Amino acid sequence: MSETVNLPALGESVTEGTVTRWLKSVGDHVDVDEPLLEVSTDKVDTEIPSPVAGVLEEVYAEEDDTIDVGAPLAKVGDGSGTSSSDVPAGDSDHSEDESSSEPSASDEQTENDAAPEQSETAESDAPAEPEKVAEESRPEQPSEPETVPERPAAASESASSSTEPAQSSSAPVQAETVDVTGNAGYVTPLVRRLANQHGVDLSTVEGTGVGGRVRKEDVLDAASRSTSSGAPTPAAVSELRGTSQPMTRLRSVAAEQAVSSRQTTAQVTTVVEADVTPVVQLIERVQQKFTEKTGKALDVLPFFAKAATQALQEHPIINATVDGDQIVYPGAENLSVAVDTDRGLLSPVIKNASSLDVAGLATSIDDLAERTRSNSLKPDELSGGTFTIASSADRGALIETPLVFLPQSAALSVGAVVKRPVVVVVDGSDAIAVRSIAYLSLSYDQRIIDSTDASRFLAAVTNALENDDFESQLGL
């Protein structure tokens, strides 16, 4: 018996999805909830799991195909080809194969349909090894390669391309998207490029992602350990040099939204600097205790988030949206937090962020960032934001001018925190001291937000960072 796997609903406004990568090939065994493929929508990239344990018998959508929600993706069963679910309408070839109860007739039909491809396979330098399921069901004719059962015709091209990338010199793009290296399992192109750049053997890296998948952080940690041990680091040369590749659906949608936002709004940016020495000193003082209690490290972003959400309550125009000739002031501060992922920047949303203290914001930011990078977000967690905050601290950038995406009207970028000599007042006299300084860049839609509004908002943020008692908000 078999069960059809359909594209599930991935959010209220999502009506279709694009198959970006098959993680399993026809004939592969899958467990319950084991990912079968990756799907990209205009909201999120996600993995589609198998609802049952069994064998992937057939696929109905190739990579880069766009299908509607509810449409069939694949068939998972016991390998016999019989189905307990409806076969997709119009797929008469599949219906004939599945309705046949004579094994010999089915084998004969499969051989006849696949004869041209079978001949090409027999002439190749490295013929594919038959699947275990087919091995158990075929007649014992080991010396005749033409009797090796082929995969179902509808999926043969997908299965061949996804299981033999290393054997075909004509498929470099496919080799970029699927990689099995030692015990590393499937890794993304970014992870593999990082491994190549830093000379890291992926088979030696223990993955910390979902299902043990190797993430870029794992590669960077391995590279750091290798560097500290004295091993030379090869020069970084990207595999993308001299190549071209299509935009992912997520990148394409983001590009359209970015252009639309720039054409619709009148965006300008105001920059101020903030003395965050009190925040940095507080983090240094409580870091060990906070980590022992939460299991997470404390950084500056939750403090900036708290200062910003407080200022939004005082200056709601920064949190407002435009609806025709109306200015709409939301009743909550829903904070979009920019997260760097292998697929590009995504901005999951902390709903009603102003109700959280620093500890709550730290927990929410860590949770959303981790689930964003592991494709575990719910689609609705990427919508509903009223204001965006982004940090370039880990990249060392001092100033960035963030882009405001509709329907929001403003976005705040936090630059790297650096120590600098600055002039301070000590006992009524000027003096030079080493302080921790960060630049805050606010981009905003000047259709409704004036530069004076932006300056007042930034002044409220910097005042909170320099003077508020955040220690009482850490729950220590």
Concatenated DSSP letters of 105-170: HHHHHHHHHTHHHHHHHHHSSSPPPPPHHHHHHS-S-TT-GGGSPPPPGGGHHHHHHHH-GGG-TT
- Please report the pLDDT score of residue 189 as a whole number: 62
What pLDDT score does 434 carry? 94
Question: In a 10 Å sphere around its CB, with 0-12 CB exposed, 13-18 middle and 19+ buried, how is residue 429 labelled?
Answer: exposed
Kindly state the helix (H) or strand (E) to which residue 173 belongs, with its residue range: helix 172-177
Quick one: pLDDT at residue 91?
45
Q: Which has more pLDDT, 249 or 404?
A: 404
Q: What is the rounded CA–CA span in Å between residue 240 and residue 193?
A: 9
201: Cβ contacts below 8 Å, ≥ 6 apart: 182, 195
- How many CA atoms, within 13 angstroms, populate the side-chain half-sphere of residue 36? 35
pLDDT for residue 124: 41
Average pLDDT in the 398-405 region? 93
Question: Which phi and psi angles does 51 have, rounded to 5°?
Answer: -75, -15
Beta bridge partners, 134, equal: none
Distance in angstroms (rounded) separating the CA atoms of residues 179 and 165: 8
Average pLDDT score over residue span 295-311: 95
What pLDDT was estimated at residue 459?
Answer: 97
Question: Would you say residue 319 has pLDDT above 90?
Answer: yes
Q: How far apart are CA 82 and CA 1, in angstroms?
A: 5
- Between 20 and 429, the higher pLDDT residue: 429
| Residues β-bridged to residue 55 | 29, 77
- Prior bond of 407 cis (ω within 30°): yes
Measured CA to CA, the distance from residue 11 to residue 378 in angstroms comes to 8
Rounded Cα gap, residues 345 and 336, in angstroms:
12
| Beta carbons within 10 angstroms of residue 281's beta carbon | 11
Q: pTM for this one?
A: 0.60
Q: Which region among 41-50, 181-190, 297-306, 325-334 has the lowest average model confidence (pLDDT)?
A: 181-190
Model confidence at 227, in pLDDT bands (50, 70, 90)?
low
In this predicted structure, the answer to whether residue 276 has a pLDDT above a threshold of 60 is yes
Nearest to 443 by CA among 384, 394, 400: 400
Q: Which two tokens stand for residue 13?
A: 């406004």
Percentage of residues in the chain having pLDDT higher than 90: 42
For residues 264-289, average pLDDT: 95
Q: Is the pLDDT of residue 246 over 60?
A: yes
For the beta carbon of residue 383, count every other beta carbon within 10 angstroms: 16
List the one residue out of 42, 47, 43, 34 whose CA is nearest residue 8: 47
Q: For the residues 207-232, what does the mean pLDDT come to? A: 73
Over residues 294-298, mean pLDDT: 90
| pLDDT confidence bin for 85, thresholds 50/70/90 | very low
pLDDT tens string 409-435: 999 999 999 999 999 888 889 999 999
Residue 169 has pLDDT above 60, yes or no: no
CA distance 13 to 10: 8
pLDDT value, residue 252: 85
Distance of alpha carbon 61 from alpha carbon 78, whole angstroms? 20
Distance CA 64, CA 39 (A): 9
Average pLDDT, the chain: 78
CB atoms inside a 10 Å sphere around CB 78: 14
Average pLDDT estimate for 305-314? 97
* For residues 319-338, average pLDDT: 95
Mean pLDDT check: name the lowest of 36-45, 116-125, 179-188, 451-460: 116-125
d(CA 284, CA 472): 15
With a CB cutoff of 8 Å and minimum separation 6, the contacts of 96 are 109
pLDDT band at 267 (very low <50, low <70, confident <90, very high): very high
Question: Are residues 447 and 266 in contact, defined by beta-carbon separation less than 8 angstroms?
Answer: yes
pLDDT value at 136 more than 90: no
Q: What percent of the chain has pLDDT over 70?
A: 73
Pairing mode, strands 321-323 and 72-77: unpaired
